[in-house]
C-alpha cells in the first residue's frame, strides 16, 4: 500500500522547511454516520520528525485536527540529500513512517 | 422417524455460535501484528492524553504545562476572520519570544479545548501551520512556552458551517 505520508523538505540556506500531508480520517468521536450512530474516535496522537538522529519536531494531535492533516514547520541544520524521517501513531495503535530526502 | 421441528433451528444456532467464536479468534490474530510491530515509529507514550480531555483553557494548560499563561504581543496567530467551512480552518502560529520550547493551539468552544500541542526543540523555529476543525464560532488561543513561561495570543474566528458534522 502506498504510504500515508507525503512530505516535502527543502533546504534554503541553513533552514529546512518541512511540509507534510498525512492521509488519515481523524475521526473526532463526535460525528454521527448516516444511520445516526457515533463514529468512534480514530485520530493520530503523535507525529515525530527526525533528522540526524535527533527529533526536530513533535506534534501531539487531538480530535480537533482536520482530516488528512497538514503541517508546516522549519528547523535549522538540514542539508540537501539528508534524510528526514516522519512517523505517526494513532489512538488505535496504527502507525506509519517514511524517510524522505531533503531537497 | 419423527424429527422434532426445532432440529434445523438448533443446527443453525450451532453454526452461528461457531461463526462467533471464529470471529473473535480472527480479531485476536489480526491484532497481534500490531502489538509485535517494532517500536521504531512515533512514541505513543509521550501523548498527553489527559490534557486533550480538558474542557477549559486553564485546565488544559495546567495539565499540559502545569502553569498559567499571560498575554503577549510577540505571538502571531494567523487565522481567518470568517471560516466558511469549520472542518478545515487554517491556523498559523509563530513567535519571536526567545527560547521557545512548545506551541499549543486551543479552540475554546470545541468539546475539548486543546486542539494540538507541539514540542519545539532547540534549532527548530517557533512557527507552525496546520488545519483544525471548529464546531462553531470560537476564540482560538495560541500558546507559546518561552524560557519556561507561558504566553498567549487569541483571535475570534467566525464559523459559518460547523466542522463537527452537526
Note the ipTM here.
0.95
Measure the CA–CA gap between B71 and B154, rounded to whole angstroms: 8
Nearest-by-Cβ selection for A28 from B41, B118, B164: B164
CA distance A58 to chain B (A): 5
Give B163's pLDDT tier (boundaries 50, 70, 90).
confident
* pLDDT tens-digit series, residues A34-79: 999 999 999 999 999 999 999 999 999 999 999 999 999 999 999 9
Gyration radius (Cα) of chain A, Å: 15
pLDDT at B8 exceeding the cut of 90: no
Mean pLDDT, residues B26-32: 45
pLDDT band at B41 (very low <50, low <70, confident <90, very high): confident
Three-state DSSP at A84 gives: strand
How large is the average pLDDT for residues A88-101?
Answer: 96
- Between CA B52 and CA A44 the distance in angstroms is 12
How far is the CA of A87 from the CAs of A43, A44, A60, B126, B132, in angstroms? 14, 11, 12, 21, 20
User: Strands, E, within chain B: which ranges?
Assistant: 69-71, 75-78, 82-85, 89-95, 100-107, 114-119, 127-132, 138-146, 149-161
DSSP category for residue B158: E
Interface of A with B (CB under 8 A): 15, 26, 28, 30-32, 45-48, 54-67, 69-77, 87-89, 93-97
pLDDT of residue B32: 44
Instruction: Give the three cell numbers for residue B50.
Output: 489527559
Looking at residue B29, its pLDDT comes to: 45
Inter-chain contact B42–A15, Cβ cutoff 8 Å? Answer: no
Contact (CB<8Å) B130/A30: no
The alpha carbon of residue B11 is apart from the nearest alpha carbon of chain A, in Å, by: 33
| Nearest Cα to Cα of residue B88 among B57, B147, B131, B138 | B131
Instruction: State the average pLDDT over residues B148-153.
Output: 97
Q: Are A9 and A71 in contact (CB under 8 A)?
A: no
Chain B hits for A96, Cβ within 8 Å: 41
Mean pLDDT of chain B: 84
Whether A31 sits inside 8 A of B165 (CB atoms) is yes
Chain A, chain B: beta-carbon pairs less than 8 Å apart: 133
Please tell me the distance from the alpha carbon of residue B37 to that of residue B27, in angstroms, as a whole number: 17
Q: Which residues of chain B lie closer than 8 angstroms to A56, CB-CB?
A: 121, 123-124
- How confident is the model over B123-149, as a mean pLDDT? 97
Reading the block at residue A48, the C-alpha cell is 515525530
Supply the pLDDT for residue B124: 97
pLDDT band, residue B38 (cuts 50/70/90): very low
Do residues A45 and B44 touch, judged by C-beta distance below 8 A?
Answer: yes
Q: What is the pLDDT of residues B48-97, one digit of tens each?
A: 999 999 999 999 999 999 999 999 999 999 999 999 899 999 999 999 99
Distance from CA of B82 to the nearest CA of A (A): 17
Residue B151 has pLDDT above 60, yes or no: yes
The predicted structure's pLDDT at residue A48: 97
Q: Does B116 score more than 80 pLDDT?
A: yes
* pLDDT attached to residue A36: 92
pLDDT level of residue B45 (50, 70, 90 thresholds) = very high
CA distance, residue A87 to nearest chain B CA (Å): 5
Amino acid at each position: 500500500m502506498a504510504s500515508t505520508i507525503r512530505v516535502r523538505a527543502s533546504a534554503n540556506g541553513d533552514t529546512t522547511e518541512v511540509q507534510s500531508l498525512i492521509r488519515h480520517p481523524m475521526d473526532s468521536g463526535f460525528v454521527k454516520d448516516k444511520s445516526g450512530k457515533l463514529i468512534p474516535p480514530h485520530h493520530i496522537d503523535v507525529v515525530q520528525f527526525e533528522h540526524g538522529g535527533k527529533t526536530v519536531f513533535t506534534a501531539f494531535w487531538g480530535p480537533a485536527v482536520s482530516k488528512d492533516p497538514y503541517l508546516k514547520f522549519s528547523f535549522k541544520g538540514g542539508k540537501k540529500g539528508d534524510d528526514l524521517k516522519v512517523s505517526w501513531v494513532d489512538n488505535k495503535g496504527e502507525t506509519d513512517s517514511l524517510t524522505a530526502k531533503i531537497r | 422417524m419423527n424429527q422434532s421441528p426445532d432440529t434445523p433451528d438448533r443446527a443453525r444456532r450451532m453454526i452461528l455460535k461457531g461463526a462467533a467464536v471464529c470471529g473473535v479468534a480472527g480479531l485476536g490474530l489480526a491484532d497481534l501484528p500490531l502489538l509485535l510491530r517494532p517500536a521504531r515509529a512515533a512514541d505513543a507514550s509521550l501523548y498527553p492524553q489527559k490534557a486533550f480531555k480538558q474542557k477549559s483553557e486553564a485546565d488544559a494548560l495546567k495539565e499540559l504545562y502545569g502553569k498559567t499563561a499571560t498575554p503577549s504581543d510577540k505571538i502571531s496567530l494567523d487565522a481567518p476572520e470568517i471560516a466558511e467551512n469549520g472542518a478545515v480552518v487554517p491556523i498559523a502560529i509563530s513567535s519571536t519570544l526567545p527560547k521557545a520550547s512548545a506551541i499549543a493551539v486551543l479552540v475554546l468552544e470545541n468539546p475539548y479545548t486543546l486542539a494540538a500541542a507541539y514540542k519545539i526543540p532547540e534549532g527548530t523555529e517557533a512557527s507552525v501551520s496546520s488545519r483544525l476543525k471548529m464546531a462553531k464560532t470560537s476564540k482560538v488561543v495560541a500558546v507559546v512556552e518561552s524560557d519556561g513561561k507561558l504566553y498567549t495570543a487569541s483571535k475570534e474566528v467566525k464559523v459559518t458551517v460547523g466542522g463537527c458534522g452537526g
